Amino acid sequence: MSDTREQILEQIKVQGDLVRQLKAAKESKEKIDEEVARLLALKATLGGDAAPTNQKFTLKTPKGTRDYGPQQMTLRQGVLDKIVQVFKRHGGEAIDTPVFELKEVLTGKYGEDSKLIYDLKDQGGEILSMRYDLTVPLARYLAMNKISSIKRYHIAKVYRRDNPAMTKGRYREFYQCDFDIAGTYDPMLPDAECVKIVSEILDSLDIGDYVIKLNHRQLLDGMFQACGVPTDSFRTICSAVDKLDKSPWADVRKEMVEEKGLDEAAADRIGEYVRLSGGAELVEQLLGDEKLKAVPNAVKGLEGMKQLLKYCSIFGLDKRVSFDLSLARGLDYYTGVIYEGVLKGESASVASPAKTSQQNGEQANEPATVGSVAGGGRYDNLVGMFDPRGKAVPCVGVSIGVERIFSVLEARAAASGLKLRTSDVEVYVASAHKGLHEQRLKVLNLLWDAGVKAEHSYKLNPKLLVQLQHCEEHQIPLVVVLGDAELAQGLVKLREVTTREETNVKLEDLAAEIRRRQQSA
């Protein structure tokens, strides 16, 4: 039914355009009348007036996306503010780029993940794709503007046609909060600062225990070489290793051998290394490893790790970082250090919202772990890919997975039953009786002009009780109650919502009195 109506509406539109064209082209009256008759017939099939169609399709947001209501926005804004505070503490400058890029900008940057890029329809003109991360747009921005050094942060949504797992905070549209340091600098100084930034952010969000895993792409490549992986399979084997955080070694080994054609012995040698993790002592152990020692890339990677761990130690991060040979990261563009911040144990669990509402808290909810909440690394060649002369700008950066952090904090807020205040209203202006709406507007105007956050009922004559209930429900601390008796003397009642204490205040002193109470509160 409703589809049919939709189609008819479309036909009416087309027919209407035709009639207008005929008229514009001054066609014969007969021809125009004929088409007008057809138009009227179409309209008649709709029956009745031109009332708005009530669309019958399911009301939803696109797959893998969600709305944020006021509660979620309040929580989210709190998280983002804390993150920005850390970025600014480290001298970050903000930039923003368009949500879509020329498709060619994204081509060849993401390896096997490229299939997850959203494309725009070709509507004539340029061929566009939605940004997949904030890193490639940064590289494009740096090359386009010939910027050779910047410490920038960027908080914006990115888009991936991935399989969504919304309870784990995995969406198709999600915020990224990126901090990157571009410029030619001495080894590991900017890299270590990125690790420090991750730890400051996770500490400030008070989200529970975490570990920042560290590894190095040069070491991975050296390790692959030492294990006998052919050079042209490094990236694809690296992609397989990247799955170790979700899949057991047996599955990853199978992918290497069966799908990617790797020699079984080589896979087993990789399996020995990727189970290793530790600190500076592991670096020393591997620097003594016969197979790795023989491969220059492996040695370079290990020496980088040694320096990074030293700086992390100065930053007080010994207990927070873990050198982990199973960390690979999926993206092609990394060339040096790679990191990943992972929540540990309890803090990684978010209750499934669906279950919470069904089971109503009676049974323990099955927790879903969110895992990685930050990731990044060094990518020294990406900017050069955009520069006509190939001029490189070395970069290192980190991206905070805020959606997963939101999921954890939302689950925690839901469990606590606490409701966040979603508006900042300080004063509600109420009528004690009928006929005072213009007086309310006058008082509101006076308050707004003094910078006081104030609201009222948009009814002409609301009941006093309803107005006071609104204040209690919305945790508004003060009410100005207007009544003819007081107004005749130039007074209004100022009432504290929690204590219900009332004082008469001169209208001209009202804004100052409210300010005074807020400061002493």
Please work out the total of residues on this chain that contact a copy of itself, with binding judged by CB under 8 A.
Answer: 117
In angstroms, the CA 49 to CA 393 distance is 64
DSSP annotation string for 321-382: EEEETT---S-TT--SEEEEEEE-GGGGEEE-HHHHHHHTTSSPPPEEE--EEEEEEE-SSH
- Name the residue nearer to a copy of itself (CB basis): 364 or 418: 418
Residue from 83, 136, 143, 219 in contact with a copy of itself (CB under 8 A): 143
- Name the residue nearer to a copy of itself (CB basis): 60 or 363: 60
Q: What is the DSSP letter of 168?
A: G
Q: How far is the CB of 67 from a copy of itself (least distance, A)?
A: 5
246 lies in the binding site for a copy of itself (CB under 8 A): no
Residue from 8, 9, 80, 280 in contact with a copy of itself (CB under 8 A): 9
- The token duo for 46 is 């709709």
In angstroms, the CA 266 to CA 271 distance is 9
Residue from 358, 433, 448, 469 in contact with a copy of itself (CB under 8 A): 448
- The token duo for 41 is 């017939």
140 lies in the binding site for a copy of itself (CB under 8 A): yes
In angstroms, the CA 157 to CA 172 distance is 10
- Name the residue nearer to a copy of itself (CB basis): 364 or 458: 458
Q: How far is the CB of 53 from a copy of itself (least distance, A)?
A: 6
Residues 48-67 that bind a copy of itself (CB under 8 A): 50, 52-57, 59-63, 65-67
Is residue 502 classed as helix, strand or coil in its secondary structure? Answer: strand
- CA 349 from chain centre, in angstroms, equals 19
- Name the residue nearer to a copy of itself (CB basis): 259 or 502: 259
121 lies in the binding site for a copy of itself (CB under 8 A): yes
Residues 10-39 that bind a copy of itself (CB under 8 A): 19-20, 23-24
251 lies in the binding site for a copy of itself (CB under 8 A): no
> What angle separates helix 2-24 from helix 29-46, to the nearest 10 degrees?
160
Residue from 243, 260, 293, 355 in contact with a copy of itself (CB under 8 A): 260
302, amino acid identity:
L
Residue from 79, 83, 95, 226 in contact with a copy of itself (CB under 8 A): 95
249 lies in the binding site for a copy of itself (CB under 8 A): no
101 lies in the binding site for a copy of itself (CB under 8 A): yes
Residues 318-377 that bind a copy of itself (CB under 8 A): none
Sequence-ordered list of residues with C-beta below 8 angstroms from that of 488, at least 6 positions apart, any chain: none
Query: Which of the ranges 208-216, 357-365, 457-465, 497-505 carries the binding residues for a copy of itself, by CB under 8 A?
Result: 457-465
Q: How far is the CB of 153 from a copy of itself (least distance, A)?
A: 10
- Name the residue nearer to a copy of itself (CB basis): 153 or 273: 153
Residues 180-199 that bind a copy of itself (CB under 8 A): 181, 183, 185-186, 189-190, 192-193, 196
Sequence-ordered list of residues with C-beta below 8 angstroms from that of 4, at least 6 positions apart, any chain: none
Residues 144-173 that bind a copy of itself (CB under 8 A): 144-145, 150-152, 157, 159, 161, 173
SS3 assignment for 215-240: EEHHHHHHHHHHHCCCHHHHHHHHHH
- Name the residue nearer to a copy of itself (CB basis): 275 or 433: 433
Q: How far is the CB of 381 from a copy of itself (least distance, A)?
A: 5
- Name the residue nearer to a copy of itself (CB basis): 249 or 315: 315
CA distances (Å), origin 466, targets 279, 298, 470, 472, 519? 63, 72, 6, 10, 28
466 lies in the binding site for a copy of itself (CB under 8 A): no
- Determine contact, residues 181/303, Cβ cutoff 8 Å: no
Q: How far is the CB of 323 from a copy of itself (least distance, A)?
A: 19
Residues 219-238 that bind a copy of itself (CB under 8 A): 232, 236
- Name the residue nearer to a copy of itself (CB basis): 251 or 448: 448
In angstroms, the CA 272 to CA 275 distance is 6
Q: How far is the CB of 232 from a copy of itself (least distance, A)?
A: 8
- Name the residue nearer to a copy of itself (CB basis): 75 or 298: 75
Residue from 331, 454, 478, 514 in contact with a copy of itself (CB under 8 A): 454
The residue to which tokens 């005072």 are assigned: 436
Rounded to 5°, angle at Cα 82 from 80 and 83: 65
- Determine contact, residues 318/192, Cβ cutoff 8 Å: no
- Determine contact, residues 428/467, Cβ cutoff 8 Å: yes
- Determine contact, residues 327/278, Cβ cutoff 8 Å: no
Q: What end-to-end distance do the CA atoms of the chain give, in Å?
A: 60
Residue from 38, 82, 90, 306 in contact with a copy of itself (CB under 8 A): 90
